[in-house]
Structure 1
Amino acid sequence: MIVSFGNFETERIYKGYVSKKYPYAIQNTARKKLRMIAAAYKVEDLKIPPGNRLEKLLGGLKNYWSIRVNDRFRIVFKWTMGGAENVEITDYH
Structure 2
Amino acid sequence: MLDAAAELDDLKNPPSNRLHDLKKDRAGQHSISINRQWRICFVWKDGNAHDVEITDYHR
Structure number with higher relative contact order (C-alpha < 8 Å, ≥ 6 residues apart): 1
Give distance in 1, aligned partners of 2:55 and 2:32.
Answer: 10
For structure 1, the residue ranges without an aligned partner over 5 or more in a row are 1-35
Q: How does 1:6-21 map to 2 (within 5 A)?
A: none
Dislocated runs of 4+, deviation >4 Å: none
Q: Which residue pairs with 2:9 in the alignment?
A: 44
- Cα deviation for residue 42 of structure 1 reads 0.6
1:75 to 24, 32, 40: 40
Structure with the bigger percentage of helix: 1
Summarize deviations over 1:23-49 as a string: whole Å, max 9, x none: xxxxxxxxxxxxx11100111100000
- Cα deviation for residue 70 of structure 1 reads 0.2
For structure 2, the residue ranges without an aligned partner over 5 or more in a row are none
Give distance in 1, aligned partners of 2:57 and 2:25.
Answer: 14
Equivalenced residues, count:
58
Q: Which has the larger radius of gyration?
A: 1
Q: Which residue pairs with 1:13 in the alignment?
A: none
Identity of aligned residues (%): 48
- TM-score, normalised on structure 2? 0.92
Secondary structure of residue in 2 paired with 1:37:
coil
Structure with the bigger percentage of strand: 2
Could you say what the CA RMSD is over the residues aligned between the two structures, in angstroms?
A: 1.0
Q: Which residue pairs with 1:91 in the alignment?
A: 56
